[in-house]
Chains A and B, each alone.
Chain A
Amino acid sequence: MFKILKYTLSDLMRSKWVYIYTTFYLVLTTALFWLSNDLAKVIISLMNVVLVLSPLIAALFATLYHHQSREFTELLLAQPVRRTAIFLGQYFGVAMSMSVSLAAGLGVPFLFYGLLVSAQVWNFATLLLAGIALSLIFSALAFYVALRTENKIKGFSLTILIWLFFAVIYDGLFLLLLVLFNDYPLDNFALGASVLNPLNLSRMLILMKLDISALMSYSGAVFQRFLGTAAGIGVAAFCLAAWIAIPIFGIRKTALTKDF
């Protein structure tokens, strides 16, 4: 598996799109620093971009890579290599290159601007970890979908739909339900629903860290109390881990049974 991972990584390292992606984050972060010296503000602005873009790019990249390397994959399948090793190696290769791009793109300007001495170091770490988790989750989902669908267009659309669902539609439905069931106590429902969506969960984790005054209101305090405790952080980490693990199991299962 590690050999495949290494091949995938070195293959992607030669792709200019990985560099473009990294450069994009580099330029964005540097520009935001340039415009505002307030680290907390920069983190909020970055948060919106990272939470929307990193899953989308990761998903697109994983799908494209899967289709692009199909011939190489078929060649590998003809060799005495375990199937799970091939596909998981490829997945981790893509996911790692995405994570490294993100970490480099965000991290370098932050280091440059003296992050390590500022109080925001943990907030930034949360943002980075959330971004990496989302990259891992969405590249796994995309890989799984790509493996399951022979039709490229269909697979592609489905991947985009999944992203759109978690990024926008989920929140819309969530808000609709909250407004409809206004008369009932919704604290626990809201908590549960935001823990289930990895994007919402990441956003809440970052916002809680950033100490937004509006989140100190009554219902904000409910979430603060939940995510502020060790148990809350544990649940959040477990949910994110589950979101990574479930599609990986899917990839493994499909890889073992799929007829090429």
Chain B
Amino acid sequence: MKYLFIIWIFISTACQSKGESRVLEVGSDSPFTTIRQAVHAALPGDEVLVCPGIYKEGQIIIDKKISITGQDFPILDGQNKSEVLTIVCDSVSVTGLLIRNVGTSHIEDRAGIRVRKSGHFSICGNILSNTFFGIYLEHARDGLVENNEIQGEALQENTSGNAIHLWYCNNIRVDGNRVGGHRDGIYLEFVNNSLISGNVSRNNLRYGLHFMFSNEDNYFNNRFSGNGAGVAVMFSKKINMWDNVFEQNQGRASYGLLLKEIYDASIYRNTFTENTIGIHVEGCARVNYKHNDFLNNGWALKMAGGCLDNAFTANNFVSNTFDLSTGSFTETNGFDGNYWNDYTGYDLDKDNIGDVPYHPVKLFSYVVTQTPESIVLLHSVFVELINFSEKVSPLFTPANVADHHPLMHYINWEEIQQ
């Protein structure tokens, strides 16, 4: 009986420590006054609840399966000297913190929140301001980065970091974050099977989204606006970019979307508005463009060499200064069934498909490609004249670049979907 009681006590304490998680409160009137103490005392599965206040503790390393929750956004200040949170353990969650002043370093990539070689983490609803790198994931997997607000104070490309930086990751969800004021808004390198959705990335110095060598990823419903050079995606396979908005990326080397060496991708239902170049395509193969809107861009599409088997179907091209300029266009790239607002053909059988093909390359866009300075003659009478005569009898522009089934009316693809 006595033994049984001892065993019972033993089991019950074990259960308590293992099964029920404790809440460790951190604050000036709480059992723990620093987060570091609480993390040190916590057991796996515990929650560290951080009360409002300013915590200047330098780098805090989280090496246990715990969750850290902020109440009314407690401030974790790096005092411009160090990284703030470093997660080196699986199943950690960080919620509701305000992390600031990580400070620029030329030697190390400091971050507001870093996840190193861990999985199953979630970083949700935090505010990061003036962090050199915002959220930095390296060799991470199966994680969630959601609804964070990351605002930097980047002034120069070489002294600034990225808001959300993923390096060698797998199966990560980056969802609903608002990022700005960094070098790149969202940066991915060697990241596979991940979902980037619902993010807003604006006013970054370089790219709103930048990814390289990242295969089989999905990019849905993001908005990229006013970034120094728009969005750049390179050397990746099997990516899907759907329902994104690329807007107001204007400047000497600015694109809505730069695609370089992209294979087997699908680009559906995106909107490109007021970019210097809507999409710049270089060395891409088997990319499908469907139901995209190109509105008020300088160049809707610029295709450089090495593009094969790209298909443009059912896109809207409206009020772009140039619809297409191309260096070398092969037969295997094709336009079919798009709406071009510059199309002046007719539709005698009233099937909403124009009876004469549309040639998207105007003579002047060809001239501007050869001699960029001639852009000064844009909209001049002479240019309109040569464009017209070239349209009547093409001499210089590639005759094989044509949409043989141009639509007569704007495609409202939102309606088509329903």
Contact = CB atoms under 8 A, between A and B. Distances in A.
Given A175-B374, A190-B374, A218 B252 contact: yes
B298 A190 contact: no
Interface residues of B, number: 33
Given A213-B298, A216-B254, 4 more contacts: A179-B370, A213-B274, A213-B297, A214-B322
Given A52-B381, A175-B377, A207-B378, A213 B372 contact: no
Contacts of B304: none
28 contacts: A44-B379, A51-B381, A168-B381, A168-B382, A171-B377, A175-B377, A175-B382, A175-B383, A178-B373, A186-B371, A186-B373, A190-B374, A194-B376, A200-B376, A200-B377, A203-B380, A207-B378, A212-B378, A213-B297, A213-B321, A214-B299, A214-B322, A215-B375, A216-B251, A216-B252, A218-B252, A219-B372, A220-B298
A8 B371 CA distance: 48
B254 to A, nearest CB: 7
Interface string A213-247: 11111111101000000000000000000000000
Given A212-B321, A217-B276, A218-B252, A200 B380 contact: yes
Contacts, number: 100
Interface of B: 250-254, 274-277, 296-299, 319, 321-322, 367, 370-385
A133 B292 CA distance: 43
A203 B383 CA distance: 13
A182 interface: yes
Contact of A179 (B252, B254, B275, B371): B371
A214 B378 contact: yes
B382 to A, nearest CB: 4
A187 B373 contact: yes
In this complex, the interface size class of chain A, counting residues with CB under 8 Å from chain B, is: 35 or more
A137 interface: no
A204 B254 CA distance: 21
A132 interface: no
B377 A214 contact: no
A221 B253 CA distance: 10
A202 B283 CA distance: 40
A195 B322 CA distance: 24
B377 A215 contact: no
A113 B251 CA distance: 32
Contacts of B378: 207, 212, 214-215
